[in-house]
Amino acid sequence: MGQDITLTASDKFELGAYRTTPEGTPKGAVVVIQEIFGVNHHIRTICDRFAVQGYVAVAPSIFDRTERNFQSGYSPEEIAIARKFVANPDWAAMLRDTQAAIDEVKDVGPIGIIGFCLGGSVAFSAATKLTGLSAAIGYYGGAIVKFAGDKPLVPTQLHFGEQDHGIPLSDVEIIRAKRPEVEVFVYDGAQHGFGCDERASYDKASADIARQRSLAFFAKHLVK
């Protein structure tokens, strides 16, 4: 269903990406931003699922500036390795690469962005700084609280787990207070990564509700 492509950022850096295209005329497009585990099987599956829903989807490899085509699973050893990529994150570079993905699908129709873990933070920041978007969704982005003073330029929805040990509920309340216009959902008993069905922390009940809310949000805001 999908294919590997190359994107070119504004500074001429070339990065990889995974793109899927639905059958028939697309409703619009969705940029999918990875966790710290790269554009791995899980992220590609998310793109494939958006194609089934009628959207073109593209997932840029935002770690290519450090290590090309990095992909990882979710074992403790793999998690430890993946964390090295965010020891000192270059947010500006990741946003340039995200803008390249947005530009890749700008002729398709209205564009949404969705991100998970690190990607959730990138998606929120993209909503406040980048051009070409119509809606943004972030799942359990730990750095969103740092960016909460920035106002999104498009409708934005956020999802957090109540038992996420990396994102205390006090951070979520700060985000709510600073950004009352943003939809914020907290899932009882859910941990970090609850939306990924390849992780031990997967919470199907919470993930299903979050997915339904996400699809409804895009259906509302990605309108030609």
Total structural domains within the chain: 1
Tell me the per-residue pLDDT of 41-90, one tens digit each, with 9 for 90 and over. 999 999 999 999 999 999 999 999 999 999 999 999 999 999 998 989 99
CB 38 within 8 A of CB 61: yes
- Per-position DSSP letters for 140-197, written without gaps between them: S-TTHHHHTTSPPSS-EEEEEETT-TTS-HHHHHHHHHH-TTSEEEEETT--TTTT-T
CA torsion, ordered 1, 201, 214, 78, to nearest 10 deg: -50
Alpha-carbon gap, residue 152 to 3, rounded angstroms = 31
Q: What is d(CA 45, CA 214) in angstroms, rounded to the nearest whole number?
A: 16
Amino acid 224: pLDDT: 81
Residue 32 belongs to domain spanning: 2-221
User: Taking the C-alpha atoms of 202, 217, 57 and 9 in order, what is their torsion angle to the nearest 10 degrees?
Assistant: -100
With a CB cutoff of 8 Å and minimum separation 6, the contacts of 38 are: 61, 63, 69, 70, 71, 72, 82
CB-CB neighbours of 4 under 10 Å: 12
Torsion from C-alpha of 30, 48, 192, 198, nearest 10 degrees: -170
- CA distance readout (Å), 80 to 121, 166, 219: 20, 15, 37
- The secondary structure of residue 71, as a DSSP letter, is B
Q: Which two tokens stand for residue 190?
A: 């859910």
pTM of the model: 0.98
CB 106 within 8 A of CB 134: no
Q: For the segment 89-134, what is each residue's pLDDT rounded down to a tens digit?
A: 999 999 999 999 999 999 999 999 999 999 999 999 999 999 999 9
CATH number, domain of 170, equals 3.40.50.1820
Beta bridge partners of 137: 114, 157
**How many other C-beta atoms can be found within 10 angstroms of the C-beta atom of residue 220?**
10
Distance CA 120, CA 156 (A): 11
pLDDT score, position 96: 98
Nearest to 58 by CA among 47, 49, 66, 74: 47
- Catalytic residue set: 117, 164, 192
The predicted-structure confidence for 11-41, as pLDDT tens digits, reads as follows: 999 999 999 999 999 999 999 999 999 999 9
